[in-house]
């Protein structure tokens, strides 16, 4: 049996991604018999306001590579600016519940994706708490229970958001990139919520690069899988669940053929926490990563 283990974390950013991409990915998970954790944006879809990211280093390069308009659709890119911001949770309650009812894991991505990704580092503790409290309230309305996991938009995380996670009593979070699971330390304070990082590049970090034509991406992922730590791939409902669905299905099929064991993130967290003392405490920092504009949360080297 292969010693390679892979967990799928599915970030859902938009109203259209929830309505179209989520059912597609849930159907793919059922077909291939693989688990996944769907993290939902639960409040207003203000994707159009993300145009302010044009000032970030590398943003134009990413946009030109990934055909953002084609993937997200014109309607989504106008949400919150020229068009009203649809409330994702209220419009898509049935689609979200269907994921849970299919036996797949569900959790919180955010309340307002744009507000968290672009402003969490400017928000006070009370403001971060209010954002996450709103997400928790909508999650409870939809699923009639508390969320046990969260993953921050754009991997934007800091000491204030970690404090709010601890207050919520989450089983684990997945806010960072690269490395083995750890307990994060920021501003000299170690936090209690287990962090399980995404270890693999996302599709949008590879798509459109001359060294990674679509026909080479599956083989590239297979070459990145490691046996010495859990492999975690962040999937986006708006990309793998829509325009690049065939490529995602090819990747899952290739992993299954290779004997990769797909694992649930909540089960992995329980397994790790059973040996709590073995989980290291590591400093969390913001740093650039290949293929993505701006900086993301990661472990200090």
Q: Is the pLDDT of residue 241 over 80?
A: yes
Under 8 Å between Cβ of 91 and 22: no
Q: Is the pLDDT of residue 296 over 90?
A: yes
Q: What is d(CA 208, CA 202) in angstroms, rounded to the nearest whole number?
A: 12
* pLDDT range class, residue 55, cuts 50, 70, 90: very low
Question: What percentage of residues in the chain have a pLDDT greater than 90?
Answer: 84
**Six token digits for residue 221:** 């992922």
Pairing state between β 183-186 and 189-190 = antiparallel
* pLDDT range class, residue 74, cuts 50, 70, 90: very low
Q: Is the pLDDT of residue 187 over 70?
A: yes
- In terms of Cα–Cα distance, which of 293, 9, 296, 294 is closest to 151? 9
Q: What is d(CA 175, CA 158) in angstroms, rounded to the nearest whole number?
A: 10
Q: Is the pLDDT of residue 2 over 70?
A: no
Average pLDDT over residues 219-240: 97
pLDDT per residue as tens digits for the range 85-131: 799 999 999 999 999 999 999 999 999 999 999 999 999 999 999 99
Range of the domain at 174: 5-299
* pLDDT range class, residue 63, cuts 50, 70, 90: very low
**Six token digits for residue 235:** 């999937």
Average pLDDT over residues 277-294: 96
DSSP letters, 216-242, are HHHHHHHHH--SSS-EEEEEETTIIII
DSSP H stretches of helix in the chain: 15-16, 22-32, 59-66, 68-72, 74-78, 88-91, 93-101, 113-119, 125-143, 159-168, 203-206, 214-224, 245-258, 265-273
HEC string of 137-174 equals HHHHHHHCCCCCEECCHHHCCCHHHHHHHHHHCCCEEC
Q: Is the pLDDT of residue 52 over 80?
A: no
Residue 70: CATH number of its domain: 3.20.20.370
Lowest mean pLDDT among 67-81, 140-154, 211-225: 67-81
Average pLDDT over residues 244-253: 98
- Residues 6 or more apart from 52 whose CB is under 8 A from it? 118
- In terms of Cα–Cα distance, which of 87, 200, 96, 91 is closest to 147? 96
Domain count along the chain: 1
Under 8 Å between Cβ of 114 and 38: no
* pLDDT range class, residue 301, cuts 50, 70, 90: confident
- In terms of Cα–Cα distance, which of 219, 230, 240, 220 is closest to 262? 230
């Amino acid at each position: 049996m292969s010693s390679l283990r892979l967990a799928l974390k599915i970030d859902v950013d938009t109203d259209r991604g929830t309505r179209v991409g989520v059912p597609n990915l849930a159907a793919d998970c059922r077909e291939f018999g693989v688990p996944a954790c769907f993290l939902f944006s639960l409040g207003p879809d203000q994707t159009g306001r993300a145009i302010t990211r044009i000032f970030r280093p590398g943003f134009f390069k990413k946009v030109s590579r990934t055909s953002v308009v084609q993937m997200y659709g014109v309607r989504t890119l106008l949400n919150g600016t020229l068009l009203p911001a649809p409330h994702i949770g209220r419009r898509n309650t049935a689609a979200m519940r269907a994921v849970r009812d299919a036996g797949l894991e569900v959790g919180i991505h955010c309340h307002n994706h744009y507000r968290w990704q672009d402003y969490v580092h400017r928000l006070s503790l009370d403001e971060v708490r209010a954002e996450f409290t709103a997400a928790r309230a909508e999650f409870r309305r939809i699923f009639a229970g508390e969320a046990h996991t969260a993953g921050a938009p754009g991997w934007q995380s800091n000491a204030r958001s970690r404090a709010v996670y601890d207050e919520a009593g989450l089983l684990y979070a997945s806010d960072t990139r690269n490395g083995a699971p750890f307990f994060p330390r920021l501003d000299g304070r170690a936090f209690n919520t287990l962090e399980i990082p995404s270890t693999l590049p996302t599709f949008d970090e590879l798509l459109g690069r001359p060294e990674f034509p679509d026909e080479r991406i599956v083989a590239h992922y297979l070459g990145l899988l490691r046996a010495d730590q859990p492999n975690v791939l962040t999937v986006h409902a708006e990309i793998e669940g829509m325009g690049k669905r065939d490529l995602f299905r090819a990747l899952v099929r290739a992993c299954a053929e290779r004997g990769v064991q797909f694992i649930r993130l909540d089960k992995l967290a329980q397994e790790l926490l059973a040996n709590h003392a073995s989980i290291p405490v590591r400093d969390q920092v913001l740093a650039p990563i290949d293929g993505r504009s701006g900086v993301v949360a990661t472990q200090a080297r």
